[in-house]
Amino acid sequence: MSDNLVQLRRRRSDFSPIDNALSRLKSVMHDRREITRDDVEAIARAVHQPTAAVYGVATYYGDLGLAKRGRLRVKVCRGTACFATAGESHVGWLEEALGLGLGETRADGSVSLESVYCLGFCNAGPALEIEGRIYGGLTPEIARALAAALDDAAAGRGPVPEAHGAHAPAFVVHGGPAIVLERLAAPIDASHLDTAVAHDAFAGLAKALSTMTPEEVLASVERSGLRGRGGAGFPTATKWRFAADNAKRASEGYVVCNADEGDPGSYIDKYVMERDPFALIEGLALAAYASHATKGFVYVRSEYPLSKPVLDKAVFEARNAGWLGKNIRGSSFSFDVEVVTGAGSYVCGEETALLRSLEGLRGMVTARPPFPAERGLFGKPTIVNNVETLANLGWIVRNGGEAYAALGVGKSRGTKALSVNERFVRPGIYEVPLGTPLRTVLVELAGGLKDGRPIKAVQIGGPLGGVLPERLLDTPIGFEELDAVGALLGHGGVVAWDDRVDARDIAEHLFEFCDAESCGKCFPCRIGGRRGLEIVRRLKARRPADEVARDVGLLTELCETMKLGSLCAHGGAIPIPIASLLTHFEREMTGGAT
- Average pLDDT (155-184) is 87
Asked whether residue 18 carries a pLDDT value surpassing 80, the answer given is no
SS3 assignment, position 385: strand
Greatest alpha-carbon span in the chain: 76
Task: Say what the alpha-carbon torsion angle 402, 408, 410, 411 is, to the nearest 10 degrees.
Answer: -60
Angle at 476 between CA 472 and CA 481, to 5 degrees: 90
Is pLDDT at 594 greater than 70 in this prediction? no
Residue 2: what pLDDT? 54
- Chain CA centroid to CA 60, Å: 18
Q: What is the CATH architecture of 173-406?
A: 3-Layer(aba) Sandwich (3.40)
Long-range contacts of 563-568 (CB under 8 A, 24+ apart): 564/524, 565/522, 565/523, 565/524, 566/522, 566/524, 566/525, 566/528, 567/365, 567/366, 567/367, 567/521, 567/522, 567/525, 568/347, 568/350, 568/352, 568/353, 568/365, 568/525
In 3D, which of 32, 38, 31 has the Cα closest to residue 54? 38
Residue 34: CB atoms within 10 Å: 15
Binning pLDDT at 50, 70 and 90, where does residue 12 land? very low
**Does the pLDDT at position 165 exceed 60?**
no
Encode pLDDT of 482-491 as tens digits.
999 999 998 9
Q: Give 168's pLDDT tier (boundaries 50, 70, 90).
A: confident
State the fold for domain 503-589.
Answer: de novo design (two linked rop proteins) (1.20.1440)
Distance of CA 570 to the CA centre of its chain: 13
The b-or-e profile of 390-421 (16+ CB within 10 A means b, else e) is bbbbbbbbbbebebbbebbbeebbbbbbbbbb
What pLDDT, in 10s, does the model give residues 223-280? 999 999 987 899 999 999 999 988 888 778 999 999 998 887 899 999 999 999 999 9
Q: Is the pLDDT of residue 502 over 90?
A: yes
Q: What architecture (CATH level 2) is domain 2-58?
A: Orthogonal Bundle (1.10)
Pairing of strands 455-460, 493-498: antiparallel
Q: Which fold has domain 409-498?
A: Ubiquitin-like (UB roll) (3.10.20)
Asked if the domains 72-154 and 173-406 are classified in one and the same CATH topology, the answer is no
**What Cα–Cα distance (Å) separates residue 33 from each residue in 36, 70, 156, 240, 412?**
10, 6, 18, 41, 47
Tell me what pLDDT residue 3 has. Answer: 57
Checking if the pLDDT of 552 tops 60, the result is yes
Ordered by start, the domain boundaries in the chain are 2-58, 72-154, 173-406, 409-498, 503-589
Mean pLDDT estimate for the chain: 93
Does 298 score more than 50 pLDDT? yes
Q: What is the mean pLDDT of residues 282-302?
A: 96
pLDDT of res. 4: 61
> H/E element holding 205?
helix 203-211
- What is the mean predicted confidence (pLDDT) over 55-78? 96
Q: Is the pLDDT of residue 321 over 60?
A: yes
Nearest to 389 by CA among 283, 244, 476, 239: 283
Instruction: Report the C-alpha gap between 291 and 451 in whole angstroms.
Output: 50
Q: For residue range 115-156, what is the model confidence (pLDDT) as tens digits?
A: 999 999 999 989 999 999 999 999 999 999 999 999 999 888
Which secondary-structure segment (H or E) carries 73? strand 72-77
pLDDT at 166: 55
Spatial CB neighbours of 518, under 8 Å, sequence gap ≥ 6: 347, 525, 526, 529, 570, 571
Residue 365 pLDDT greater than 70, yes or no: yes
Please tell me the number of Cα atoms within 13 Å of 443 on its side-chain side.
15
Work out the average pLDDT over 466-478.
96
> For the packed helices 307-320 and 268-275, what is the interaxial angle rounded to 10 degrees?
40
> From edge to edge, which strands make up the β-sheet containing 111-116?
111-116, 72-77, 128-130, 133-135
Q: Is the dihedral of CA 519, 520, 521, 523 positive or negative?
A: positive
Asked whether residue 14 carries a pLDDT value surpassing 60, the answer given is no
Residues 503/585, Cβ–Cβ less than 8 Å? yes
Residue 370: cis peptide before it, omega within 30 degrees of 0: yes
- Residue 162: helix, strand or coil by DSSP? coil
- φ, ψ of residue 399 to 5 degrees: the values are -105, -10
What pLDDT score does 476 carry?
Answer: 97
Say if CB 10 and CB 48 are below 8 A apart: no
For 72-154, CATH gives 3.40.30.10
- For residue 13, name the pLDDT band (cuts at 50, 70, 90): very low
Residue of 378, 331, 338 lying closest to 357 (CA atoms): 378
